[in-house]
Amino acid sequence: MTAFTSLSSQEQEVFSPVETILAGKTLYNELLARYTSWRVGGPADHYYRPANISDLSVFLKQLDYNQPLFWLGAGSNLLIRDGGIRGTVIHLKRTLNQIRLEDDGRLYIEAGVSCPQVARFCQQNGLSGASFMVGIPGSIGGALAMNAGAFGGETWPLVSEVELIDRQGNRQWLPSTAIHVGYRNVSIPHEHWFVATRLSLPATANVDDEEIQRLLDQRRNSQPINVPTCGSVFKNPEHGFAAQLIEQCGLKGHQIGKARVSTKHTNFIENLGGASAFDIELLINHVKNCVEQQQSVRLDCEVRIVGERVTPL
């Protein structure tokens, strides 16, 4: 595995003084529920939506180094607690949104592009191997961060190289071999984040125009798609499936407040309308405890739980 190295002075992006004006959108006390697929989450002290990667780099260079920092993409596989997030939230969805074929045949994608958009782009451009991404509800940045997968496919086998940005706004491209990747787990240096990637996908003369629709139909038939969820809540254990274990515990349809274990796929938790993050977190912990007690299996969350907890009176 290639060792991670710091940027040299030649590799760092250099900005002239005229490039210090920020072009993105700044908000304060911005409610984050509107940006999460569960439709829950309290306010961010400081919310920034960059105009592009260069603007993001300028923003980071100017940001107080002691300011807590949280990165938000499509808001799936994420539970933001009702108390919200202190510090600064950087939101990449629909901002870092460039996707293109490059001269060498590789696919360049910025972190805010949705995974279903990648799947459709590849189909339209005669590239094979990425159709499974239509089943991943998040963005490419999130898919890189957790090696997201669906329908038997995973993100990182497609990756040629990635672009990282650090806390000081410095950017660096690294080959995929420099990153340690496992099942729903990716290790990168502290306070570095993905902002873009290049994928290597084989070209094909025989594009299956119906493949994505078949996968979408499969998802529609097996998963709840008409209510707010975050995608799969738990990782599958080494032997077996989380949904099967949950159902064997009799938890299908179990409800706390307005949060419910889906009756269609028990590894999904639904917001029936008006659920709080507190309801959802209680239900996650209840499911985990029941499976451990009854099945002697400790489920690990795929969901990242962040922010300040607010306990209802």
Give the DSSP H/E element, type plus range, for residue 84.
Answer: none
Within its chain, how far is the Cα of 126 from the centroid? 26
**Burial of 174 per CB tally in 10 Å (0-12, 13-18, 19+):** middle
In total, the chain counts a number of residues equal to: 313
Q: Is 110 a known active-site residue?
A: no
Task: Tell me how many degrees the CA angle 129-96-175 measures, rounded to the nearest 5.
Answer: 55
Provide DSSP, 227-271. Answer: S---S--BPPPSSS-HHHHHHHTT-TT-EETTEEE-SS-TT-EEE
**Residue 107, SS3 per DSSP:** strand
**Catalytic, out of 30, 163, 270, 302:** 302
98: enclosing H helix or E strand: none
Q: Does residue 302 carry a catalytic annotation?
A: yes
Q: Of 49, 171, 184, 260, which is the active-site residue? A: 184
The CA–CA distances, whole Å, from 313 to 276, 278, 305, 310 equal 13, 12, 21, 9
Structure tokens at 236: 């599958």
Distance CA 275, CA 277 (A): 7
Residues 184, 242: contact at Cβ < 8 Å? no
184 is catalytic: yes
Rounded Cα distance, 134 and 10, in Å:
38
- Distance CA(240)–CA(230), nearest Å, equals 21
Catalytic residue among 114, 131, 176, 232: 232
DSSP 203: B
Catalytic residues, which ones? 184, 232, 302
